[in-house]
Amino acid sequence: MLSPRRHYIFCSLLILLLGIARAEDLAIIGYIEPYKTITVSAADQGVISEMLVEEGASVKEGQVLARLETNALQAELEIAQAEVKLQATRHQKLTELAAANRSTPEELDRALTDLTIKKAQVRKIEALIESRTMRSPVNGVVSEIKRDPSESVSAASPHVLTVVQVDKLIVNLFLPPAKAAALKTGDVINLRLLDEEATVSAKVDFISPVTDAASGTTRVKFALENSDGSHRSGGRCTLAE
């Protein structure tokens, strides 16, 4: 009869061996993810004046999603634009006078320099206003809104909303090194979508150059076209037989 200590050791080894056997029999399972998950942040601190989308909204690349308060900057822009008009008028009059030899070249040069400076000031203010405007970097879907109008953002907490790109999806599978070595970037491989009970073609997007020492596997990323939105992120996926 085994002593309690030897019995414990025997059972532990048996469980370990059974666990290894089951692990070898298990299919390699991964999960469908958005091709990109982008945190849209404010480039400046301030108060949200407009939130122009809702969670779940489809958005286009470059579409305005939200804005920070810009009333003071808009006022500065109007002043700068008025000054540009005045300088442009002055420069035009001096140009006409110069044609009749009634103004000096120095006066004309000074007027042109002043006009250039005022135009640069307008561009600077416009850039500041644009920096307080949040646009979608991709065609995608708004998956999360972190701030509502009248709430503030800061340098320490700039996250305003999240956009996911789902017209293309990715699947990360952790393969035995031998299987990963048999693939190359650009290969088209069949994947089995377990929750949808469907087989689809996917392209090898990336093969990690590193084998994880703990698991003994290599990460391979597959890209799956989803322009019609027929596949949902979060589903289980494996290599097709």
Report the pLDDT value the prediction gives residue 77, as an integer from 0 to 100: 97
Residue 17 is predicted with a pLDDT of 43
Rounded Cα–Cα distance for residues 142 and 165 (Å): 9
Are 233 and 22 a contacting pair, CB within 8 Å? no
Q: What is the model's pTM?
A: 0.74
* pLDDT on residue 2: 41
Domains of the chain (ranges; CATH) run 27-36+165-239 (2.40.30.170), 39-161 (2.40.50.100)
Q: How far apart are CA 40 and CA 130, in angstroms?
A: 14
Interatomic CA distance for residues 48 and 158, integer angstroms: 11
Q: Is 237 helix (H, G, I), strand (E, B) or coil?
A: strand
pLDDT at position 27? 61
The whole-number pLDDT of residue 10 equals 46
How much is the pLDDT for 229? 87
Residues of the chain with pLDDT under 70: 1-27, 241
Q: 3-state DSSP: the chain helix, strand, coil percent, rounded to 5?
A: 35, 35, 30
